[in-house]
Chain A
């Protein structure tokens, strides 16, 4: 059994909302430095806004794929066959043109126009969740009653996953990306998730519904293998749970700590659009984009990186780079930080960004209008952050109203 480390790797360390001074020091000095990732591997950490954009734009020299024989130290051996089936359909592990082939099957489901059509349904889901929260408190855990169920319900409906199964898949998705859990256990959770999604794919093959799984089977069923369908759907389910929910929880806490800005989001309907962008920038919940591997010798910020090396880009650091934006450490919801990197950049730019934006634009004002007296019901110093999680957020948040 592996002992959980006391501190997460450098690029994941935070002081409440803020990236640590160590990360800033790298950005202000060399720009790129080697650090050790959670598996004890040497990686090159890129910290400046422009350098991050350059890396993420260049899928030829910075690949998402993994060369044959690439293994993570400490991971239990996995057969080639299982590895291939686990990688199929995972857009984040593919480079163009294979990546583009799969992404284009999904993008019609995430256009801005499609999101507009979803808006009334998201409003209903948010209202029902706020009703349930009102009936169960105060106080109440905002993560359990608001931040997690809203995106969970939305992605389940969109994808065609029964919400009644949520206890299992929410448990899995929360633990799969938690570094304090031994890698063998996480692999086991991944296997369980694969088996579950495989049962849903089998059902969709027989009886395709009016959801993304059904659409993929109807329109692309012959060109997609079962493993690809399982991979795509598993990624969407995981991404749908672990991203917007953390933004909703952490974003609410950020607003509670900035009462004037909270009041603006609550009272001014024009404030929410820019506020969502600024919260995305300032919180940057995804610590690092999927690690890239250099396919050739490269140079970033004057630092030489040989071929075959892992490159991490720090999204929080890039989003707080004074070369990108003035007073980067300050949360200012009025500026609507256009050009932030919270959704990434390049061909892997978040597929669900329009959905995430729509959910946040509806949910934050709805919460604050329902509970105009919303307040923290625990000491700020006691708030439980997800310190070891690939995606930053809160474990829980006690609130009253």
Chain B
């Protein structure tokens, strides 16, 4: 599973970092950075939760 982040849409709420810190980070401006090419199996639930929670709908899962 891969995850795609739209950095133009991101509003830097940081919820994804709180939810799945192994998958997401923020750069110095607070904008989302995806840390992994392929989401490890044991992080997929966290990543899915982060996608669902993102206030600006900047995240999307891709198989």
- Which of A104, A343, A344, A347 lies in contact with B29, CB distance below 8 A? A104
Contact A112 B56 (CB under 8 A): no
Contact B30 A353 (CB under 8 A): no
Contact B13 A108 (CB under 8 A): no
What residues on B are CB-neighbors of A354 within 8 Å?
14
A1 at the interface (CB under 8 A from B): no
What residues on A are CB-neighbors of B55 within 8 Å?
56-57, 343-347, 349
- Which of B14, B29, B31 lies in contact with A353, CB distance below 8 A? B14
B18 at the interface (CB under 8 A from A): yes
Contact A111 B49 (CB under 8 A): no
Q: Which residue of B lies closest to A354 (CB)?
A: B14
B1 at the interface (CB under 8 A from A): no
Against B, the Cβ 8 Å flags (1 = close, 0 = not) of A38-57 are: 00000000000000000011
A3 at the interface (CB under 8 A from B): no
A100 at the interface (CB under 8 A from B): yes
Complex Cα–Cα for A269 and B59 (A): 31
Complex Cα–Cα for A113 and B29 (A): 11
Contact A349 B26 (CB under 8 A): no
A79 at the interface (CB under 8 A from B): no
B44 to chain A, nearest CB (A): 16
What residues on A are CB-neighbors of B53 within 8 Å?
338-339
Q: Which residue of B lies closest to A100 (CB)?
A: B11
Contact B19 A349 (CB under 8 A): no
Contact A112 B29 (CB under 8 A): no
What residues on B are CB-neighbors of A103 within 8 Å?
11-12
Contact B17 A347 (CB under 8 A): no
A352 to chain B, nearest CB (A): 11
Residue contacts A-B, CB under 8 angstroms, 23 given: A56-B55, A57-B57, A100-B11, A104-B12, A104-B29, A107-B11, A107-B29, A107-B30, A107-B31, A108-B29, A108-B30, A110-B14, A111-B26, A111-B30, A112-B18, A112-B26, A338-B49, A339-B52, A343-B55, A347-B56, A353-B13, A353-B15, A354-B14
- A-B pairs with lowest CB-CB distance, top 7: A349-B55, A107-B30, A107-B12, A111-B30, A349-B13, A111-B26, A112-B14
Q: Identify 10 new A-B residue pairs, CB closer than 8 A, beyond the known A110-B14, A112-B14, A349-B13.
A: A104-B29, A107-B11, A108-B29, A111-B26, A111-B28, A112-B26, A113-B26, A338-B19, A346-B55, A346-B56
